[in-house]
Structure 1
C-alpha cells in the first residue's frame, strides 16, 4: 500500500454506481453500499475520498468508509447537512449515484506497520478511519497495537458500535468511548474524546496517532499527546474543508499554500499546525 491507485483518465467524468443497500446510522446519518455498474473493482487507499452525487443533484466530497480489501463494494457514510446530501438521503435501493475518484492523500499506513496506532475520532470523523479497522480485521498482525478513542455528543450519535464491539471481542482493537451529553442509562466515560488521552499508556517512539473530527477537537487532541511527549511528526489529521473540484483547480479548499483535496485530506500535524489557529484561512 505504498502507492496511490491510478487516477481516472478524465477526473471530471463520473462513473455510475447502483445502491445495493441503504442503512440509517442515526437521525441525520446514513450509509450507502454501492456497486459499480461495470462490475470492475474499485481500488482506493484508506483515507481517500470520492466526489459523490445524486444524478442532477450536485456533488459532495465524502470519505470512503469501506473495506479496502473488498474492491467490489464501496461504502459512503453521509451526514445530511446541505442540498447535495439531502438529495442523496432520498435515494433508495437500486437507485443510481455518480462517483468521481478516488482522490487525495490517504493515511500513511506503511509508516505504522508493526507499530502502535491510536485512532482518535469525533462523531462523523469515524468513517474515514473505518478502512483501517477493516484492514486490521483481515490482517491481525499488521499493527502491534490498535487503539480507538471515539467520542460523540450523545449515545445515539455513536456510529458502528456493533462492529466496534466485535473488533473489541476479537481483540483486534482496544476501544475507549466517551459522550458529551450522557443519558440516564449511559455507564461509560463522560466528556470530550480528548479527555480519554491522559489514561492511555504508550511508547512514544513506537506510537502514531491518526485523527479525524472537528478541527478544534483535533487541535486539542494533538496538544494532549504532545504533552505526553509524543513527537509531532507522529500525529496525522484528516481535514474536512469545502472541496469542490477534488483536483486543486477551483481553490475552494485552499489552506494557505495547500489544497485539502490534492495535498490532503490527510496531513502530518507538523505541516499544518501553524495554520490551524489562523482565523478564516
Structure 2
C-alpha cells in the first residue's frame, strides 16, 4: 500500500543507488520490473533501466549542472499525466530520492492531487562512494559524528556557519566540486585545521571511480590537477586518511579479474 490510495495509477519514487547496479534495493528493482513508465535522472546507471519491461516507456528527465534541463514543474506534470491514465510510473532517481533529490517535493505534489505514492529508498552516494573509496564516515578512534551538506553555493555553506565552527566530525559535501576552493577556504577560516585530511571521489562505486586525497588547504588544487569531473563527492575529516589502509575497491584490478577466462 502506498502513501495515498486513489484507485488510479501509482507512482513509485525509487532510489537507484549511487551507480553500481548491485546496490539498488530489492524494492526498487521490483518496482521497475512492473513499471509501465520510467522517468529517470542523469545519474541513473543505464544497466538498471534494463530491469524495466520491454514495453515500458522510458523518459529521460535528467538535470546536468549548468546545462539546460527538464524543469521540475514539467517532471511533476509528467508524473501526474501518466498516473491519471492508470499506469504504474517509476520515478527513478540517483542515490536516495529524499536526500538532496527533490523526491519529497514530487511526492507532496502527487499526494495533493490524490495520486497513490510509494517510496523505495536508495543507498545515498554520500555513504556508498565513501565506502568504495575506503573511507568510513565514522570510526571509534577518529570521528563519532557526520554531517551531509550540499555544496552548490557558498551562501548555502554560510547558513551553517554557527554549526560548522564547532563541528569536529566528518563533513560530506554533495555537488561541491565547482566550489571546493571556496568551501575549503571557508572551513579553514572557521578554524578547521588546514592539514585536515580530505578526499574527492569521482564516479563513486563505478568501475571508472577515481579518488584523490590530500590536505584541506590543497584539495581543490589537487582535484583540478587531476581534472576530476562531476559527479563527485567530497569528504573532509580525519577518516579520509584511513583510505591508505582500507582501499578495498580497485576498479582496474576488478575489471582485469572479470575478463580473465
TM-score by length of 1: 0.33
- Larger RCO: Structure 1 or Structure 2 (Cα < 8 Å, ≥ 6 residues apart)? 2
Name whichever structure is richer in strand by fraction: 1
Name whichever structure is richer in helix by fraction: 2
TM-score by length of 2: 0.35
